[in-house]
Chain A
Amino acid sequence: MTVPLLSVENLCKAYGALRVTDRVTLTVAAGELRAIIGPNGAGKTTLIHQLSGLAAPDSGQVMFDGRDVTALSMPQRARLGLVRSFQITAILPRLSALDNVALAVQARSGSSFRFFRDVSQDAAINTEALALLARFRLDARAASAAGTLSYGEKRQLELAVALATRPKLLLLDEPLAGTSHDEARLVIAALQSLKRDVAIILIEHDMDAVFALADRVSVLVYGAIIASGTPAEIRADPAVRAAYLGEEA
């Protein structure tokens, strides 16, 4: 067995008496697309917060790409290639859509302690950022302030920003929520084409998308992983059906 890209060991976190993360142990291989599903309030977003470094676990360990990242900050983890998106859209509203993506390119291309040259004229950064915008059909909106984009466009923009960092592992928190049917198809196609190159942890309530995309699925209920397996195994698992899928049927 090769070393997994991500390995989470016994992660625990409580808010007061509420256990939001309960002894979560999880490994994700390079290039794997892992879906994490679970009912509202199961602790999915909180888990992403801990993997990305936005929140600290009470105990447990996160290993990424062969090193212990448990004590690293979010920017440090991002620079190692562990990059997240947000369930609640997080963009830079008064900067252009292009600037939003370009900043993510800039973050990994040399020092940003450069004070004089006009960065908007940086052809290398702009070309790469524009190509990413085009991938999500946002190129016509490149010069628009990101805050003026539609909700669905903002979701797409966030994905373009995350990809611009060239992640090794993407943590996506409900990227399809609030997108139109067409936009969702674009996102699913993008994820499909990323598979194998980039490992992904996908949190998603859209079961069709989950079962179509995921290599493996883990089910989180009350902060604990109650089952992990291939989509087919998960669909057939009686405990999962009772705890989660049953609600949807």
Chain B
Amino acid sequence: MTHRLKPNGRRVVPLLIFALLALVPAATAIGADAFVLSLVTRIMIFGLAAMALDLLLGYGAMISFGHAAYVGIGAYSVGILSSSGIDDVFVQIAVAFAASGLFALVTGAISLRTKGAYFIMITLAFGQMLFFLASSLAAFGGDDGMTLPSRSLVFGAPILKNTVVLYYAAFICLLGFYALCRAIVASRFGRVLRGIRENLVRMEAIGFAPYPYKLAAYVIAGMIASVAGVLLANQAEFVSPAYAGWQRSAELIFMVVLGGVGSLHGAIIGAALFVLLAEYLSRLTEYWPMIFGPLLILVVIFARGGIAGLLKAWR
């Protein structure tokens, strides 16, 4: 008989990832280094941003080189609001959604008129525009960035100060948006998006005008990444223009490629590998990018589907 298109690996690997993530605080409770907790929180935050990027890259064939801008918007939503006394995390997220959604709508509407290398360049340009805007906000630290007066409040309570609570807040966001993205890619909308990725002219020939679908995906991916920014600001208790810079955008692409394009959970694996390797290689030598670069090239050459692709092949 015909083989199934969705092997169970699609379900098992994400399940393992989230089970593992759920248990990390337990490990630190029984003696593992507390530093691990903040490290894995970072992994989940970048995993969230990379997963949002994978929605564009892996499902819509849109190579955005400015996705860190949305992380920056989320972080500055927290920074700017909390410095004017608005500490409620839900208000901050609502503002982050509105700002990132609007920025994605306007810049996406323009960028998506271009194709291929032009799209990459124009998303990069818009990202850098935001970076320089953040750098010029003298009232909010300019290029030095700004330290937050405090972490966000949840229903008026300062519970995010607790690293375990912050950890689970990041965990719930990652899990929730993973479930959302899974649903989206399997929906009517998601199938159109996947179709456009495969063959745009074919989709036009059956009556789909691709532009509105791409734009909607672009806005959704931007809004999800802004939540990563809200979390990042809270974890670091600091916001900086660097969050939105092109290096960060490139890192997000690295993560997605490393983990496996077009699988969603691959982006989380990629973020984990990236953050861990950067952390430990940088302890070994200051020249760690010289090891890191070739490593990435090897993955791209020998493991086309990234780590998620390898896991699928082994099953």
Cβ contact within 8 Å between A107 and B208: yes
- A-B interface, 10 closest residue pairs, ranked by CB to CB distance from nearest: A92-B198, A78-B207, A107-B207, A75-B209, A104-B206, A143-B2, A90-B202, A79-B207, A114-B188, A74-B204
Cβ contact within 8 Å between B198 and A93: yes
Assess whether B238 is interfacial by the CB under 8 Å rule. no
Cβ contact within 8 Å between B198 and A114: no
Which listed residue (A85, A103, A113, A141) contacts B191, Cβ 8 A? A103
CA distance A95 to B192 in the complex (A): 11
C-beta contact mask, A150-194 vs B, less than 8 Å → 1, else 0? Answer: 000000000001101100000000000000000000000000000
Cβ contact within 8 Å between A113 and B3: no
CA distance A64 to B203 in the complex (A): 21
Name which of B5, B201, B205 has the most chain A CB atoms within 10 A of its CB: B205
Cβ contact within 8 Å between A90 and B201: yes
Cβ contact within 8 Å between A94 and B207: no
Interface magnitude class on chain B: 20 to 34
Q: What are 26 contact pairs spanning A and B, CB under 8 A?
A: A54-B201, A54-B204, A74-B205, A75-B205, A78-B205, A86-B202, A90-B205, A91-B202, A92-B194, A93-B198, A103-B191, A103-B203, A104-B207, A106-B188, A106-B191, A113-B188, A114-B187, A114-B189, A116-B183, A116-B184, A117-B187, A119-B191, A140-B2, A143-B2, A161-B202, A162-B206
Q: Give chain B nearest CB distance to A127 CB in angstroms.
A: 16
Cβ contact within 8 Å between B3 and A92: no
CA distance A165 to B198 in the complex (A): 19
Cβ contact within 8 Å between B199 and A90: yes
- B residues near A (Cβ < 8 Å) are 2-5, 183-184, 186-192, 194-195, 198-199, 201-209, 212-213, 216
Q: A115-B184, A116-B183, A116-B187 are in contact. Are A161 and B192 (CB under 8 A)?
A: no
Cβ contact within 8 Å between B207 and A117: no
- A residues near B (Cβ < 8 Å) are 52, 54, 73-76, 78-79, 83-86, 90-96, 99, 102-104, 106-108, 111-120, 122, 140-145, 161-162, 164-165
CA distance A23 to B194 in the complex (A): 40
How many CB-defined contacts (below 8 Å) exist between A and B? Answer: 121
CA distance A84 to B148 in the complex (A): 59
Cβ contact within 8 Å between B188 and A142: no
CA distance A161 to B195 in the complex (A): 13
The residue in chain A whose Cβ has the minimal distance to the Cβ of B182 is: A118
In the assembled complex, which residues on chain B have CB atoms less than 8 Å from the CB atom of A141? 2
In the assembled complex, which residues on chain A have CB atoms less than 8 Å from the CB atom of B192? 103, 106, 112
In the assembled complex, which residues on chain B have CB atoms less than 8 Å from the CB atom of A119? 186-188, 190-191
Q: Give chain B nearest CB distance to A154 CB in angstroms.
A: 12
CA distance A161 to B208 in the complex (A): 13
CA distance A78 to B186 in the complex (A): 24
